[in-house]
Amino acid sequence: MVSGTGRVLVLGGTGEARRLAGALVADGVDVVSSLAGRVADPVLPEGSVRVGGFGGVVGLTAWLEAHPVTAVVDATHPFATTMTASAASAADLTGVPLLRLQRPGWAEQPGDDWRWVGSLEEAAEAVAGFAHVFVTTGRTGLGAFAGLSQEVLVRSVDPPDPPLPPRTTVVLERGPFSVDDELALLREHGVDVVVTKDSGGHLTEAKLTAARLLGIPVVVVRRPPLPAGLVVVATVDEARAWVLAQPG
Ligand SMILES: NC(=O)c1ccc[n+]([C@@H]2O[C@H](COP(=O)([O-])OP(=O)(O)OC[C@H]3O[C@@H](n4cnc5c(N)ncnc54)[C@H](OP(=O)(O)O)[C@@H]3O)[C@@H](O)[C@H]2O)c1
């Protein structure tokens, strides 16, 4: 793609999406980043930004027709399955080239006691025998844990919506977190099990190191599968190279 020609839509809400937008803007590419609008005070990427859902496949298809772009990069979170599915369908319908940028998942290391589950509901079942559960899966989907009767520590950027477990303590914080921060938090609340999605990345992995150091098990929610046929890359550099290789 020749600098300054064409427009690229980056579906965002992740650090990778922000870094990609910044790199492309520096390359002279016209970038519009899209955010869902879930976080009250988001860290905004460089370039243009639009906020809010498109209205499913139909809405995104209409948006792509009304705002022609030469390429779409879906850099949403690995668990943003609805947006990823909509992007794949809308790209098929419009013929706009689509790339999925998805960071690698986390890998178990010596000393880890990880218990893989397929959903938040299964994660809630997996923590049944524990007394102090640290739920780090974000503010949405916490209803899956609402039936837990033990102490539950929830951390999220914005206040979580009910229903919450009856004995919930909420910590409002935005990552990145250091291992020392995480060790202090786990000790302060007497946490004996951590629940996480397999989000991957460095911003929130310190909790895994802290759990390993303290010998605390971690319940890890497996990533949902990607739509068939998607072109997928794992790094911002690969995504940038793909965009720059698109015809303007
Ligand atoms: N799921 C997580 O654990 C997680 C963690 C960190 C950050 N995030 C970020 O938070 C946002 C929402 O995540 P989610 O899990 O709620 O996604 P989701 O379940 O896949 O999306 C639900 C709906 O939100 C809208 N949406 C999602 N991402 C959007 C974007 N980048 N731009 C415009 N609309 C978007 C779409 O609405 P319409 O159907 O109306 O288009 C989508 O159908 C995403 O941007 C994601 O990258 C998610």
Query: What's the helix, strand, coil split of the chain in %, to 5?
Result: 30, 20, 50
Q: How far apart are CA 92 and CA 116, in angstroms?
A: 33
Ligand 1 atom closest to Cα of 55? 40
Each domain of the chain, given as residue ranges in start order, spans 7-104+225-245, 114-221
Which among 63, 82, 157, 158 is the best mutation to test ligand 1's pocket, defined by most ligand atoms within 8 Å of the CB? 82
Average pLDDT over residues 11-38: 97
Residues 6 or more apart whose CB falls under 8 angstroms from that of 38 comprise 13, 140, 158
- Report the relative pairing of strands 193-197 and 132-135 from DSSP bridges: parallel
pTM, entire model: 0.93
**Whether residue 81 has its Cβ less than 6 Å from ligand 1:** yes
Distance from C-alpha of 159 to C-alpha of 186, rounded to nearest angstrom: 20
Q: Is the pLDDT of residue 89 over 60?
A: yes
Q: What is the mean pLDDT of residues 227-237?
A: 97
pLDDT, tens digit (0-9, with 9 covering 90-100), for 41-73: 899 999 999 999 999 999 999 999 999 899 999
Q: How far is the CA of 130 from the centre of ligand 1 (A)?
A: 31
Distance from the alpha carbon of residue 85 to the mean position of ligand 1, in angstroms = 11
Is the domain covering 7-104+225-245 a CATH 3.40.50.720 domain? Answer: yes
Cβ atoms 141, 120 nearer than 8 A:
yes
Looking at the predicted structure, is the pLDDT value of residue 132 above 60? yes
CATH topology of domain 114-221: Rossmann fold (3.40.50)
Residue 134 pLDDT > 50: yes
> Is the distance from the beta carbon of residue 87 to the nearest atom of ligand 1 less than 6 Å?
no
Closest CA relative to residue 205, chosen from 214, 196, 216, 213? 196
The pLDDT score that the predictor gives to residue 120 is 97
pLDDT of residue 4: 47
